[in-house]
Amino acid sequence: MAVRSLGHRKQILLFLLAVILPSLVLVVFTLRMMSQERELAQKRMEDERHRTAREIGQHLLVRLEKIKLQETSAASDWSQSLPKRDYVNPEVVLVALIDGRQLILPWEADLRKKEVQKLLNNSNYIQKIRRAENEEFARKDFSRAVVLYRQSMETAREPVQRGYARLQLARSLTKSHRKKEALAHYRNILVLPSSVTDEYGIPLSLYAAGRLLEESTGHKEIIELIGTELEEKRWLSPTESYLLQDLVEKVIKTAPDASILEAAKDYHRMIQEHLRKLEQALELQGDFQSLALLTSQRNQAEKLEPVWVPYGDVTWLVSLAPPLAGSKPLLVVVQAQNIFASLKSERGFSETFPGEFHFVMGEGFEGESLGPKR
């Protein structure tokens, strides 16, 4: 009985060694192979994501550099009309001069302001204005001031000189209780071209608009003037922006009809959007040196790719363009979301890069980098 039992155990052991053990080894080997396959598949997927991200990044960089070249080429005579200058590409937010280590924003580089300052400080003209101002402010002789301002206006040679003297004349007429005459002069100033400005680049017509609104008149002409300023100028100075905001708010409070009220509300929204953009541009100006773009440009020969730096709460992509012959370098700024959207809508892009993906900016997001970090 014991011998049989021992033989039975040997048979079971041989069975385990001959059948079960090889099967277990095969299972373990198979599981190991499957694990390796998963790891390889995962690595291939990651490599594919890296490759696709690099290709998209290169595609984006080519588009950005093309934009920069186009804007730089179009800027050959741009210093004469910086605030009004439109950009070649709709994704561009700002093109600005670099002077030394300083970023010069469009309204600061407007050469007309220096020309106006020279005209308003012309010795013969300014002497007449100073005499009239002395009568108005020191002697309080408003009637005499009216006579002198009128003489200054009639003998002025340049439109800006006549417009500035007329503005002073209207003010003195108001103080002389000759309001009807004053309003007639303000209406005349209101229709002056926006190129007729003071030494700060503010159109004289906007000052007249404020005076007319104080008398609750001229709403239609004033709202048209505001619309023209917003449509013609890509960039407004901070002073003009806040002046337009003040005028629009006055129109909203005193609008004589619904059409003017609705137009004023639309322009108010436009001004608010411009002010947000303006504030970010001013912050960029303050932070410009810390972005180290000038250093990047000096070391460009050592770099494999051009540098575009993300900036701001509403992300802008910022890059330095090398100067054209005889000119200063330029800063080109692109609205990130706009360039991403136009890139995705580009013909053939979805076929080249199939699948759903989104561009995101900032830290803390999962995803693939489109290029090397600075």
pLDDT of residue 81: 60
The domains found in the chain, sorted by start residue, are 59-109+287-352 (3.30.450), 112-284 (1.25.40)
Report the C-alpha gap between 305 and 31 in whole angstroms: 45
pTM above 0.85, yes or no: no
Q: Say which residue, 17 or 205, is predicted with more confidence.
A: 205
Q: What is the mean pLDDT of residues 31-53?
A: 72
**pLDDT category of residue 36 using cuts at 50, 70 and 90:** confident
Residues forming beta bridges with residue 203, ordered by sequence position: 197
pLDDT of residue 1: 47
pLDDT of residue 173: 98
Average model confidence (pLDDT) for the chain? 85
Q: Say which residue, 111 or 193, is predicted with more confidence.
A: 193
Q: Say which residue, 355 or 233, is predicted with more confidence.
A: 233
- CA proximity to 217, closest of 244, 246, 243, 179: 179
- CA proximity to 168, closest of 201, 130, 194: 130
Please say if the pLDDT value at position 265 is more than 90: yes
Q: For helices 142-155 and 159-175, what crossing angle results, to 10°?
A: 160
Q: What is the mean pLDDT of residues 285-299?
A: 81
Give the lowest-confidence range in 9-18, 85-94, 183-192. 9-18
pLDDT of residue 279: 98
**pLDDT category of residue 297 using cuts at 50, 70 and 90:** low
Give the lowest-confidence range in 136-145, 346-355, 359-368. 359-368
Residues forming beta bridges with residue 309, ordered by sequence position: 318
Give the lowest-confidence range in 66-75, 137-146, 279-288, 353-362. 353-362
pLDDT of residue 48: 62
Q: What is the mean pLDDT of residues 163-187?
A: 97
Please say if the pLDDT value at position 42 is more than 90: no
Dihedral sign for Cα 85, 88, 93, 96, please.
Answer: negative
Please say if the pLDDT value at position 359 is more than 90: no
pLDDT of residue 370: 54
Q: What is the mean pLDDT of residues 326-342?
A: 90
Give 284-287 contacts, CB < 8 A, sequence gap 24+. 284/94, 284/103, 284/311, 284/312, 284/316, 284/318, 284/333, 285/103, 285/105, 287/311
Q: What is the mean pLDDT of residues 72-99?
A: 80
Please say if the pLDDT value at position 140 is more than 70: yes
pLDDT of residue 218: 97
